[in-house]
Amino acid sequence: MSNLFDLTGRTALITGAGRGIGREIARTLAAAGADIAIAELDPSTASDAAEEIRGMGRQAFSVECNVREAGSVNNAVASVLEHMGKIDILVNNAGIARWTKAEETSDSDWLDVIDINLNGTFWGCRAVAPHMLARGSGSIVNIASMSGSIVNKPQPQSAYNVSKAGVIMLTKSLAAEWAGRGVRVNSVSPGYIATEMTRKAVTTYTDWAAIWHDMTPVGHMGEPADVAHAVWYLASDAAKFAMGTDLIVDGGYTAW
């Protein structure tokens, strides 16, 4: 049997891959054989990540990109196509969190989260669509969150929850539109994962970590690799019949 998880010869574009979960996704897909393009807000972490991928023996390209601007995403995709020739896999990973009570949430706090997490994901999907649909092949994996299905405790984060619920429904909507034309769209919904995002939360709000651990059946946070492996599956031919699925990887959080 051929190795359905082998990504040799594929090109994967990952947003927000300068650090955290995105960077681990880049490493994991590269280890599976893919060449990697990194679209990232911070050009220095982006080029550092690209250097690391080259060190693994794969081709890598980095481009500055702010996913909240449709034009910036379109330019990044055009630049990746020019330098790498094709995009087989898109991972919309860039995202932010804001912890504000709903009644105290400013216009800009709300819009930052919706623009980056939800609209940014749509801009990414839309930008690669003409290329993938014309080739009749492609796999898009959107990083949603368990927060798209449940309301987290104790942190108030209505904009974040709404943005991720939107990503899950966007994923299903695009999957239904494009499934018959060779382009698969799926999402991965992580539970609590140890990255800068959650580190910032637990160092500012010192009682949150214990609550999170207590509410997670496995009793601790996951690692970026736990998410990256789920992305790898959905990106690969092993998932050829998976379309519009939301793969929850949360240490059991949503089972309780």
User: Rounded to whole angstroms, what are the CA distances from 159 to 32, 98, 142?
Assistant: 35, 8, 18
Residue span binding ligand NDP (CB under 6 A) among the ranges 65-73, 75-83, 150-158, 237-245: 65-73
CA distance 63 to 77: 9
Counting residues that bind ligand NDP (by CB under 6 A) gives: 29
Q: Is 171 exposed, middle or buried (0-12, 13-18, 19+ CB in 10 A)?
A: buried
Residue span binding ligand NDP (CB under 6 A) among the ranges 89-97, 128-136, 176-184, 232-240: 89-97
Single residue of 95, 138, 156, 251 touching ligand NDP by CB under 6 A: 95
Q: Site residues for ligand NDP, window 111-150 (CB under 6 A)?
A: 116, 143, 145
Binding mask 27-46 for ligand NDP (x = CB under 6 A): -------------xxx--x-
Q: Strand 183-190 vs strand 138-143: parallel, antiparallel, or unpaired?
A: parallel
Binding to ligand NDP by residue 192, rule CB under 6 A?
A: yes
Single residue of 11, 14, 18, 50 touching ligand NDP by CB under 6 A: 18
Binding to ligand NDP by residue 22, rule CB under 6 A?
A: yes
Look up 160 and say whether it is catalytic. yes
Strand, helix or coil for residue 61? strand
Q: Are 152 and 214 in contact (CB under 8 A)?
A: no
Give least dist CB 13 to ligand NDP, A: 12
Single residue of 133, 162, 197, 242 touching ligand NDP by CB under 6 A: 197
Give least dist CB 97 to ligand NDP, A: 6
Alpha helical stretches, state H, 19-119: 20-31, 43-55, 70-84, 107-113
Binding to ligand NDP by residue 211, rule CB under 6 A?
A: no
Q: In what order do the strands lie in the sheet with 89-92?
A: 60-64, 35-40, 11-15, 89-92, 138-143, 183-190, 246-249
Give least dist CB 248 to ligand NDP, A: 10
